[in-house]
Amino acid sequence: MRNINKDCSISEYPGQLVIASKLISIVNQIVEAGKALIARKKKASADARLNVYYKNRMKKQKHQNTINQMPLEMKLRMGFHRS
């Protein structure tokens, strides 16, 4: 009887390990995907804020003749260049 019980408990243990390791890897993938999503959202938000900053700066400089004007590439990219 003892041998049968030991065999059953030993044979079930590796199966549980395989399932646990698969669950751990799935959870790790979910966590990594969440981190990547948050990083993309933060980068998009930062880019949007930077674009708003540059657009506001260009609007201020549009009617002024300042020394520190933006380069032509930036004006073209923001759509404020007048030919």
Q: pLDDT tens, 2-28?
A: 555 555 555 556 677 778 888 889 999
pTM for the whole structure: 0.52
In angstroms, rounded to a whole number, what is the distance separating the alpha carbons of residues 1 and 77? 80
pLDDT recorded at residue 20: 81
pLDDT average, residue stretch 52-56: 89
What mean pLDDT comes out for the span 61-78?
66
Query: SS3 for 19-62, per residue?
Result: HHHHHHHHHHHHHHHHHHHHHHHHHHHHHHHHHHHHHHHHHHHH
Q: How confident is the model at residue 76 (pLDDT cuts 50, 70, 90)?
A: confident
